[in-house]
Structure 1
Amino acid sequence: MRIKAVGVVKENLEDGHTIRVEWIRDHRSTMKEWYFYTSRVAVWKLDTDYYLSNHLIDFTLNDVEQDYTIFLYDEYWKNQFYNEEQFQEYVSSQQKAKFDNQFGWIDFYQEFADKLRPYSSDRTKLIEKVTDAYNRSGMTLPKMEKDYNTIDIDPFTIFAFFNKGIKDENRIRIIQELKEEFSVTASVPETFDGIPVVNNMMATFYGFIGDRDEYDIDNLWSIFNAALDYADNDTEESKREFIKRFDTAINQKYVKWKLTMGLYWIRPKAFINLDARNREFISIDKNMDSDFINRFVPINKVPSATEYIAMIETAQSSMKSGNYKFKSFPELSYHAWISHNKYSEVGRDTGTTTEVPLEEAELSEYAGKLVSSKNIILRGAPGTGKTYLARNIAAEVVSAGRVKSFEDLDEIPQNNIEFIQFHPSYDYTDFVEGFRPTIDEETGEMRYEIIPGVFKNFVTRAAAKQHTGEKFVFIIDEINRGEISKIFGELFFAIDPGYRGKKGAVKTQYSPINDVNKVLYVPDNVYIIGTMNDIDRSVESFDFAMRRRFRFIEVTAGSQLEILSGQIDDYAGAATRLIRLNNAISEVEGLNSHYHIGPSYFLKLNDIDNDFELLWQDYLEPLLEEYVRGFFDEASILSDLKAAYDGLHQEIDYED
């Protein structure tokens, strides 16, 4: 039994899946394991009157080493072993078995890659099989073309669809069906330590039709096959073919660093993963020897095939020295993950541990705030990913915590989420109800009828499902761009968290015409998320009475840097420039964090050959000019901001 962390439960949010934990110790990197007296239950309450329980408490809380000899004399355990040598052999074998089990996914991933090879020439059949597997799993196959009509696919994208930000239980469901569909003999993995995941927004390794070249997907199949040949049979011929195919694929749009992740998935012992976490980890001298550091650090540019092979060989040599806790690329990736992540205050019981990656824990915290407050506004600077975050919060709420991404929702819970965008011409008739022209099917004449708006239809649908316990989330993007009071009308009262349900029922403006006795209310199972840019000049339309009905949550540029991870060539350079620039913006009199630059702007680097100067000229400078327009020293301010962006005179503060 591994002790991963020690903490104190501070609060139960009573939402069925979340508690707040104050973490005291992090043991993930120390392999702190306890043997013999263990339990498989999710929550184990120790009997403090039993002496072995007290030994376990001392081991966990007081860092007292486990005394194996006590089991030699325990009534039960003394009959299991004849002598201490046999006992120690058993302990060693158990430690090895547990460690091997940590990376049990390797066998499945490698065999699944082999099973995909024959379909490089029959991709239509491959798409059918993958679709069938997803349908049986109950998971929605992610979107692969704008019109959802998938005509081609590459093997790395298939791997990416179950190696992104989804819960392990959903990943296992998908893998189980892929195992059956492709007759994989390896066991379905239960743990996924050391596996990098792609950003949910950019999981495919190719662009949609119209945004990719004719041979992009063919090239991905070519490097896939060449990589398997090279990993399994390292010859001069296989090496030359790998170099050729790698250098072709790496320059394609939407590939970049992700290619090294894909190669790692299919042969994790042969290829190093160069996602942002690993690059950061292996750039530190305590994690790699001086030969590696001197040759390859800083790692801020996607390597050529020759450079990548040299990096692999040098890293393997470094790991074989015995100076590090990791001796293979899977172990390296696992330790990089440990180094990068810290425990959040929010834990989720998964049946084995309450360990949660920071990004997932933050999402759960946002969802908890929505559930407790009913109405929230995600506010912040432009480009901070508020809309994307809103969709994922909604997915977490309607799925009761089972799904972390909107695109991973099944079709039915997706129907429990509505998304609209306010604009200056949006009004009550669009939102609640109003007269609309219709055509009489019998006479062909036009007439006007009272037609329910999008919100009325939504709350009516939600009210009909109250008895099932289902939750419904209504997302209003750019909520402050509409005239709020005019759009909501009398529902201004009904959306108040204190007046939900029939006690807050109101008559609409058209009730006297439609049905004088008919009322409308917002049921308890409806939750509202709004998004708004703080600097939008239309913010004054959001009156104070309406503000009182929403909980405002700031989304900072720094908190969403993960958007860039694995998506651009120079993550470290982009993050550093963003932090420097935003620190400088905060120092300008008349500006503040509301005017910060969000990380989404830096995704544009993919479209401009990773040219930071072009990003400044075409995207950032025009925006900043609008911010400081009318300032007395406008030119001087812009010059200082550019200097900060270029790193000419400002220290970096990584605290946001």
Structure 2
Amino acid sequence: MAFPNINRQHILDALRYIDENGIPSHNQSMKYDLITDDGKKYPTKYVVAVADHLANGTEISTEGVHGTDARSFLKKHGFCIEAKQERYELIVTANDVSSTDERFTMDDLTMGDHYKPLDVFFQKANGEIIKRNYRKGEKRNSNQTMPRLACQIFEKQIVALSVEEKENFPICQYKPTHGVFRGIYDSLEGFRKQKKTLEYLTYHYDNGRKLIFYCWNIFSTLLFVQECLKRFGAEGDRFVLSYREKETGEINPPPPPPLETEKYRNPYSEMLMESKNIIFRGAPGTGKSYLAREIATDIISNGYFDDYTQLSGEQRKQVEFVQFHPSYDYSDFVEGLRPQIHEDGTMGFALQDGIFKKFIQRARKNYEDSQKSKETIEKEISAQDAMENFFSSVELGVDSFETINGSKFFITSVDERCIYLSIPGNVTDRLVLNTDEIRKMLESGEDFQKVKDIASFFGKQFASQAYSYDFAIYKAIKETKNKTSRKMAEQETLKKYIFIIDEINRGEISKIFGELFFAIDPGYRGRAGEVSTQYANLHMNPEEKFYVPDNVYIIGTMNDIDRSVDSFDFAMRRRFRFIELKAENCLEMLSALENEALEEEAIQRMTALNQEIVNVEELNENYQIGPAYFLKLKHLTFDQLWTDYLQPLLQDYIQGMYDERAIMKRFEQAYGYKKKDGEDIDAAVTHEG
């Protein structure tokens, strides 16, 4: 359901209205509340109904307001929504497992997928309470906290068990009809031999030693915890777990598919992790581009998938793909001037970021945000929220503002980088401000009282003209910050970003990368490799530096027989790890044919043809035919693949060689192509006299 013409200010006005007039008893919320910074609670549906009344003059009624729509609408405008969750308590003893939630039963522990832990502790018979001693970086109150606490309490007894006792230790039984998961292992390899899955926990002890066993949802290890009490606990000992129902979106995804490797599915993924930059080289059609996407998917999904189409929209933002060609240059890749039509209809040029710089900005933001504390993130969100609310309330080109000296101006446009001003009567009637400067001022929490304070804040000896207008807008934003709600902030998770450059050798590398040779070097990632780009003097902040963060990985592909290989920049060569792919390395891609007989025949023909190719004195493995060509068999016959794709390519290979006709004849026979009646190979080998 849409809520037309309602903005954040209408919602804030609705909260004041409710403060003054109260909430009718029939409009009290049963499950969800909007929570403000001062702790006040408001029913979400009623807030939207009142805001609609104030914005559009409608009668105040919640009948047409759907709860889910109301919550989403309020969250979109930056308000904190909390559920009136009932807190359940589960008690585990040696003889019983019980919960205040009447729906709980040990006969169906899969229900644990729908609950979130709040707290857990161990209580001795004498009343002493012991809580988890969290390791550095360990997540608080997770599904793994209770079994880890059990390991902490009974560590000596568990470690003292024999290998056989550990391997037979009961861990989980979701339902009486299901088998029992058993086994405590001292290595991931030992665990994976029994169960190839990511569903496990690791308990660390004694300077690097480990206990590893199965764990998934909040209830999955209840059997393990109870068994610990039975074997090692004293009478009256118990574990107490507090939990609540999950919200929509918190529900566990399906368990990930089994893994065949230590972390990633593809062995080349580890090579990329180690080297940061790799280039796949080899003959045409060996699956280099296919493999690059597969590796990117493998890494981004943490080994869950290898099919790029299975990545979510958010995950795909961590992957970028570009293909180099002779006309590709620095302005396409990094930044450059592009034509732009101004508001007055005149034509000019504006600096625009290229595909690589945009990609790096996404990766860099994630990298830098992951290093920030929750408090810093909350300040940034608050500042961004204040700016968005302010600019959304401004009527561009109409609402006027004044500097501290009385200079009147209008805001004509706003984007992520710039605030565009019109200053009537000024010698320079237009001015562009840096959005980031105002954002930093708000994030700092400082109280700027004069323009000189801004200059000092940015480390400048003298205040520029722009600071006067920055100060005016800053004051206007601060004045409009009335009642604001608390916005939830979470620590950013560090992600990996994969940039794929197809046919990297076809572009003029030095012209495309420019000074970035230094920045992409694995040894100079991060601020150690900062450089000024060619157009730095045109940036809003000319002192701004460019660097490639540690969470960026680059994959290039190149054909060995391409004539541009010989001219590939040596400065670039030493910054990449080169991995050769032979025709037989990616045969698994032929499974996409979804026809075992066709796949088998394709491999047979390809192998025979490639053997004949290397038998030619002037050719070698770099000229072999890769499996990617044979994927065309989805739509073509073997004969069509030969006449329309393979034959023309092979003719180029042997052009100018002695006895081309005989060589092509051997290729035909090896591939299994039979000429049709009246067809003569001489007609195909047109360049032979």
Normalising by structure 1, report the TM-score: 0.45
The structure richer in strand per residue is 2
Normalising by structure 2, report the TM-score: 0.43
The structure richer in helix per residue is 1
> Highest CA radius of gyration, 1 or 2?
2
